[in-house]
Amino acid sequence: MIHFITLKSIKNRKFTAGLCMASIALSVVLFLGVERLRKGARDGFTNTISKTDLIVGARSGPLNLLLYTVFHMGSPTNNIHYSTYQKLKKNPMVGWTIPISLGDNYKGYRVVGTNEDFFKYYKYRGDESIKLKEGKPFKGIFDVVLGSQVAKELGHKLGDRIIISHGLSKNALYKHNESPFKITGILDQTSTPVDRGVYVSLYGIEAIHIGWETGAPNEDKLVNPETITKDDIKIAQITSFLVGAKNRILTLRLGRYIGTYEDEALLAIIPGMALQQLWKTMGYVEQTLFLVSLCVLVVGLLGIIISLYTSINERRREMAILRSLGAGPASILGLLVYESGLLVFLGSLLGVASLYGCLFLIGPFLESEFSLFIPPQLPDVKELIFLFSILIVGFIVGFIPAIKAYKNSLQDGLTIKI
C-alpha cells in the first residue's frame, strides 16, 4: 500500500525525483568507478610483474633498479658481470632467471636484451605469460621481437628491418646502421610496460656493440652481420636479472645471499614489495579522487532533502487526506522516509547498472589506450558496504523532511491549510 502510494507520488514528481535519482546514480557511478579505476590501476601496477621473487642488479637505489628493469624508466648506473650472473644462476636456491641488458633504444622504445627464458618465465597479472601474437621468438643474433604497442604505433610487420639507436634517448647521436634487425615476432598485448619493449637476444646486444668500446663506432672493428656467428660473441655484461626462487620461502635467504655476494656489489629487491611502496607514494591521488566522489554523493543526498523538503508544503493537503483515511502521523513520517529511501535505492541501483554499462562500453578502450585493465567483477565487500551505507544515509536523510511533515500533520490535523 505505502509502496503503491509512494510509487505514484514519485511518478507524479517525475522530474525532481528523476534528478534526485540521477544525482545519486552519478555519485554511485563516480564513487564506484573511481574505486574501480583506482583498484585497476593499483592491481595493474603491482601486477606489472608477478611470480618474480627478486630483481638483481648493480648496487644502486632499489627504486631505480625497479624502474629501469620493469618500467623502462630511468637509466641503469652500472652493469653486472655476465660471469656473476652465470654463477648465481647455478645457485641451488635459484629456480629460474631472466637476464636483462639495456642501453639502446628504437625510436624511443627501449631495447631489451634477454634470452628465451623471457618467453618461458616472465609472468604478469598473476599467472599470465608472454605470448606471441604472430611470428616466433628471436633465434638469430639479429632477430627482434616487438612489444605490441611498438608494433602498433610504428606500424611494423613481420619481416621488417629496423635500425637500433645507441643509448637510451630517442635523439641518439649514433645509430647501429650497419646491423639492422629483422622482426621475427610481435607480442600480444599485456597492458604492461612489456608492450613498449623491443626484445633481442643478449648476443644481438653484444654484437652491435663490438667496435663501440669507446662509446662511438670504430669503423675498423665493426662486425659484419652477414658472417658473424654466436661463437664469435662473448657476452661480457648484463644490466640486471629477474630471479624465481626454487621455493618462495627461500626468497629472503636468497636475497640476503645476493646482497652480500662477495665478488661483486649487488642489490636484490623483492618486486612486489617495491611496487607496493612505490604505489603508496602516490596515495594522495587516491585520496583526492575519494574526496571528489564523496562530495558528489553529498550533493546527491542534499538534492533529495531539498526536493522532498520543498514539496512538503505542497503536500500538506495530501497528508491531511491520508490522515482522514486513518493514517497516523507516524505513517506520514514512514511514507516520506520510505519515499526518500526508495529514491536512494533506485538511484544506487541505476548507478550500479550504469557503472557496469560504462565498464562494458569503455573497458576495452581503457585497456587498449591506457593499459588499464578493469575486470567487470561483481561488487566486492567494500563496495557493498558503501552501497549499504548510502541506503542507510538515504533513510536517515529522509527523516529531515519527514519530521517536518510529521509536525505539520500533527498541527494541521484534518484542517487543510493552504
Ligand X SMILES: Nc1ncnc2c1ncn2[C@@H]1O[C@H](COP(=O)(O)OP(=O)(O)OP(=O)(O)O)[C@@H](O)[C@H]1O
Query: Which residues, numbered 66-125, are part of the site for ligand X (CB under 6 A)?
Result: none
Is 288 an interacting residue with respect to ligand X (CB under 6 A)?
no
Measured from the CB atom, the residue of 281 and 415 that comes closer to ligand X is 415
Is 324 an interacting residue with respect to other proteins (CB under 8 A)?
yes
Is 326 an interacting residue with respect to other proteins (CB under 8 A)?
yes
CB 55 within 8 A of CB 269: yes
Interface segment toward other proteins; rule CB under 8 A; list 63-71, 77-85, 210-218, 326-334: 326-334
Neighbours of 313 (CB within 10 A): 13
Give me the least distance between CB of 406 and other proteins, in Å please. Answer: 12
Of residues 120, 173, 313, 328, which one binds other proteins by CB under 8 A? 328
- Placement of cell 618486486 in the chain: 271
3-class DSSP state of 99: strand
Of residues 361, 378, 381, 414, which one binds other proteins by CB under 8 A? 414
Give me the least distance between CB of 309 and ligand X, in Å please. Answer: 21
Is 310 an interacting residue with respect to other proteins (CB under 8 A)?
no
* Residue 324 contact partner, candidates other proteins, ligand X, none, CB within 5 to 8 A by sort of partner: other proteins
CA separation for the pair 183, 150 (Å, rounded): 12
Give me the least distance between CB of 42 and other proteins, in Å please. Answer: 48
Measured from the CB atom, the residue of 173 and 416 that comes closer to ligand X is 416
CA separation for the pair 316, 314 (Å, rounded): 6
Of residues 292, 298, 330, 353, which one binds other proteins by CB under 8 A? 330
How many residues contact ligand X, by CB under 6 A?
2
Is 325 an interacting residue with respect to other proteins (CB under 8 A)?
yes
Of residues 317, 384, 411, 416, which one binds ligand X by CB under 6 A? 411
Closest alpha carbon to 148 in 167, 179, 124, 172: 124
Neighbours of 10 (CB within 10 A): 18
Measured from the CB atom, the residue of 38 and 407 that comes closer to ligand X is 407
Neighbours of 140 (CB within 10 A): 16
Measured from the CB atom, the residue of 375 and 413 that comes closer to ligand X is 413
CA separation for the pair 217, 237 (Å, rounded): 19
Of residues 318, 363, 398, 405, which one binds other proteins by CB under 8 A? 318
Interface segment toward other proteins; rule CB under 8 A; list 79-87, 126-134, 186-194, 325-333: 325-333
Measured from the CB atom, the residue of 273 and 321 that comes closer to ligand X is 321
What residues pair up with 187 in beta bridges, in sequence order? Answer: 132
Interface segment toward other proteins; rule CB under 8 A; list 144-152, 299-307, 327-335, 366-374: 327-335
**29: Cβ contacts below 8 Å, ≥ 6 apart:** 351, 354, 355, 358
Is 416 an interacting residue with respect to ligand X (CB under 6 A)?
no
Is 381 an interacting residue with respect to other proteins (CB under 8 A)?
no
Which phi and psi (to 5°) does residue 75 adopt?
-125, 145
How many residues contact other proteins, by CB under 8 A?
26
Of residues 87, 221, 256, 317, which one binds other proteins by CB under 8 A? 317
Is 3 an interacting residue with respect to other proteins (CB under 8 A)?
no
Is 1 an interacting residue with respect to other proteins (CB under 8 A)?
yes
Q: Which residues of the shown chain bind other proteins in the complex (CB under 8 A)?
A: 1, 4-5, 8-9, 11-12, 317-318, 320-331, 413-416, 418
Tell me which residues touch ligand X (CB under 6 A).
411, 415
